[in-house]
């Protein structure tokens, strides 16, 4: 295994996802992974098959705002296969969050395929804080769409962005 980014004790990992929008669950994984790795690249996937609420640029900006207090976090985006992005950044480690057993099956399948496509890649699974095990971006968007409270689900910056998208409700 090529350990080019491990040689000098510098470990770099990528935490990929749609982050549409970033939730407190995502932030929990970001903060915890940033303690484990010297550098964490949070990479926003530009998935053309999905119809996102926020543009890639908006998601990147929201992530930059909510991680500004974490010095070893970098925000980036990609539109290709994850393995191609990893190769372009010379990174071999991926962080994935698991909320429930149901997440594990899909994540294991993706990790196995990614490993087949990029043999030097390693996937680290982090279980979510039980406080956020029910939380997903889809649920947040659905609540916000109908002007429900999302205060405990997302950072303030994201709550304000959701109110702008769906119109504010007092």
pTM of structure: 0.90
Asked whether residue 146 is marked as a ligand-binding residue, the answer is: no
Q: Annotated catalytic residue: which of 26, 59, 92, 141? A: 26
Mean pLDDT of the chain: 91
* 39-45/73-78 β-pairing: parallel
* 122-127/39-45 β-pairing: unpaired
Q: Is 64 a catalytic residue?
A: no
13-41 pLDDT, tens digit each: 999 999 999 999 999 999 999 999 999 99
CATH 3.40.50.300 fits 12-130, yes or no: no
pLDDT the model gives residue 169: 55
Q: Annotated catalytic residue: which of 50, 79, 116, 145? A: 50
Q: Is 79 a catalytic residue?
A: no
Q: Is 50 a catalytic residue?
A: yes
Is pLDDT larger for residue 96 or for residue 105? 96
Q: Is 147 a catalytic residue?
A: no
HSE value, Cβ hemisphere, 13 Å, CA-based, for 32:
15
Helix or strand run (H / E) with residue 29 = helix 24-36
Largest CA distance in the chain: 55
43-68 pLDDT, tens digit each: 999 877 778 999 999 999 999 999 99
Q: Annotated catalytic residue: which of 59, 128, 137, 141? A: 137
Using alpha carbons, select from 23, 78, 83, 20 the residue that is nearest to residue 54: 20
Using alpha carbons, select from 92, 70, 86 the residue that is nearest to residue 6: 92
Asked whether residue 128 is marked as a ligand-binding residue, the answer is: no
């Amino acid at each position: 295994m090529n350990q080019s980014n491990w040689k000098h004790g510098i470990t770099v990992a990528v935490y990929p996802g749609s982050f549409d929008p970033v939730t407190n669950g995502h932030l929990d994984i970001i903060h915890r992974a940033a303690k484990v790795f010297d550098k964490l690249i949070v990479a926003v996937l530009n998935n053309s098959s999905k119809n996102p609420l926020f543009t890639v640029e908006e998601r990147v900006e929201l992530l930059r705002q909510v991680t500004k207090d974490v010095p070893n976090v970098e925000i980036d985006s990609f539109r290709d296969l994850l393995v191609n992005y990893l190769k372009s950044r010379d990174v071999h480690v991926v962080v994935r969050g698991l909320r429930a057993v149901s997440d594990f099956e899909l994540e294991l399948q993706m990790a196995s395929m990614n490993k087949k496509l990029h043999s030097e890649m390693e996937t680290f699974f982090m279980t979510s804080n039980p406080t956020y095990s029910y939380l997903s971006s889809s649920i947040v968007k659905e609540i916000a769409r109908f002007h429900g409270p999302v205060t405990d689900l997302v950072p303030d910056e994201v709550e304000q962005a959701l109110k702008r998208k769906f119109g504010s409700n007092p």
